[in-house]
Amino acid sequence: MLTVDEAFRKFKSRLELNDKEQKNASARQTEVRDYLVTKFAIDRSFLTGSYARHTKTKPLKDIDIFFVLKESEKHYRSKAPSVVIGAFYDALVEKYGKDAVRKQSRSVNVDFGVVIDADDNTDYRVVSVDVVPAFAAGDDYEIPDDDTGKWIKTNPEIHASKATAAHQAFSNEWKGLVRMVKYWNSNARHGEKPVKPSFLIEVMALQCLYGDWQGRFDYEIQGFLSTLADRIFDEWPDPAGLGPAISNGMDAARKQRARDLLMAASRDATIAIDHARCGRNGEAVKAWRALFGPKFPLS
Ligand SMILES: Nc1ncnc2c1ncn2[C@@H]1O[C@H](COP(=O)(O)OP(=O)(O)OP(=O)(O)O)[C@@H](O)[C@H]1O
Ligand SMILES: [Mg+2]
C-alpha cells in the first residue's frame, strides 16, 4: 500500500502533461488551423488557456486555441459576438459534423469523439478543443462574449506570468495543487461542476495558495478547499484587470451549492488526514481516492 505522500506524488504526476498528449494537442491545433485558414483570413493561432499554463486537469478537454484574425476580417468586430461565433460554428460543422460541434459564449467547441475510460484515461488524446476567434488589440486580444453580448479584452501572457510567479513562490507545487482541485471539480460524481468556470479555482489560488509550502499535500489541499469555500462569495476580478469578473460565472444559488460541496470536501479531507494520523494509512488513501476520483491511486 502506498503512503499518502507517495499516492499524492503519483496523483500529481498523472495530472502532468506528457509528450504524447502535447503531440496530440499540436496535431489537433494544426488540423483545425489548416482547415480554418481555408474559411477565414487568419493571421496566426496558438494553444492557450490553462493548457498552455499547465493548470489544465485531465482528461484533456476544451483546450483553448486562439485564432487571431487578420485586419480584413475586422467587420466581425463591429458586429455582435454571436455573428463571429456563428460563422466559426458553421465552418466547423462543415468539417466535423453537427454532433461534434457546439457553440459556447466565447468559443466553438469541437469534440473529437475520444473515449474516456473508467480511470479517466484517453490513450493520451485530447477530447475536445475550444476554438476562440480573436483580434489583436495592442498587447491584448479582443474576443467575443455572447453572455454579455460584448467583445471583451483578455491577455493570456499576464495570466501565464501570474501563474508562473505563484508557482515559483510556492516551491513549484502551486500548479500541481491547482490541477488536483480542478480534477476534484470536474469529477462527474458531483453531477455538475461545483465551481464555474474552473478558471475561478486558479484565480482564487493566486490569493488563497501562498506563503510557504509546508511539504504536506494533504494539509495544503484541506486548507485550500476550506479557503475556497470561505471566499467563494467574494468578487474575483480578472487577474489581468481587463475582462469581466471571473466570479460572474455563478449566480448566488450556484455559489451556495459550490460552498456546500467545497465544505463537504474539506471535511472529507480532514477525515482522511485523521486516518493517517492514527496510523490507518490504507483508510487514508481510500478516503483521498473517494474525494478526488480514479486518477488518485490506490496502489
Ligand atoms: N473573464 C475573463 N476575462 C479575461 N480573460 C479571461 C476571462 N475568463 C477567462 N479568460 C482567459 O481565457 C482563458 C480560457 O478561459 P477558460 O474558461 O477556458 O479557462 P482555463 O484557464 O483555460 O480553464 P479550463 O481548464 O477550465 O479550460 C483563461 O485561461 C484566461 O486566460
Ligand atoms: Mg480553457
Ligand 2 is an ion; residues with CB less than 5 A from it: 49, 64
In 3D space, the residue among 109, 126, 205 whose CA is nearest the CA of residue 166 turns out to be: 205
pLDDT in tens, 63-72: 999 999 999 9
Q: What's this model's pTM, rounded to 2 decimal places?
A: 0.97
- CA-CA distance, 128 to 189, in Å (whole number)? 21
For 276-285, the CB contacts below 8 A with 24+ separation are 276/4, 276/218, 281/1, 281/3, 281/4, 282/1, 284/4, 284/218, 285/1, 285/2, 285/3, 285/4, 285/7
Specify the pLDDT at position 8: 98
180 contact partners, CB below 8 Å, separation of at least 6: 11, 12, 15, 57, 217, 221, 292
Specify the pLDDT at position 188: 66
pLDDT in tens, 155-178: 999 999 999 999 999 999 999 999
Distance 142 CA to ligand 2 centre (A): 16
Distance 49 CA to ligand 1 centre (A): 6
Mean pLDDT, consecutive 10-residue stretches, the chain (299 aa), reads 96 98 98 98 98 98 98 98 98 98 98 97 98 97 96 98 97 98 88 93 95 93 98 98 97 97 97 98 98 97
- CA-CA distance, 43 to 36, in Å (whole number)? 11
Specify the pLDDT at position 211: 84
- CA-CA distance, 3 to 266, in Å (whole number)? 20
Q: For residue 199, which ligand has an atom nearest its CA?
A: 1
44 forms beta bridges with 68
Q: Is 67 helix (H, G, I), strand (E, B) or coil?
A: strand
Pocket of ligand 1 (CB under 6 A): 49-50, 56, 62, 64, 152, 154, 156, 159, 197-199, 202, 238, 242-244, 246
Provide the residue ranges of all domains of the chain, joining segments of one domain with +.
4-12+158-292, 18-155
| CATH 3.90.1150.10 fits domain 18-155 | no
Distance 155 CA to ligand 2 centre (A): 14
204 contact partners, CB below 8 Å, separation of at least 6: 227, 228, 231, 232, 236
Supply the angle between the helices 174-186 and 217-231 in degrees, to the nearest 10.
60
Distance 197 CA to ligand 1 centre (A): 8
pLDDT in tens, 19-77: 999 999 999 999 999 999 999 999 999 999 999 999 999 999 999 999 999 999 999 99
The preferred substitution site among 50, 61, 146, 246 for testing ligand 1, maximizing ligand atoms within 8 Å of CB, is: 50
Torsion sign across C-alpha atoms 195, 196, 202, 208 = negative
In single-letter form, the type of residue at position 97 comes to: G
Specify the pLDDT at position 25: 98
Specify the pLDDT at position 190: 73
151 forms beta bridges with 144
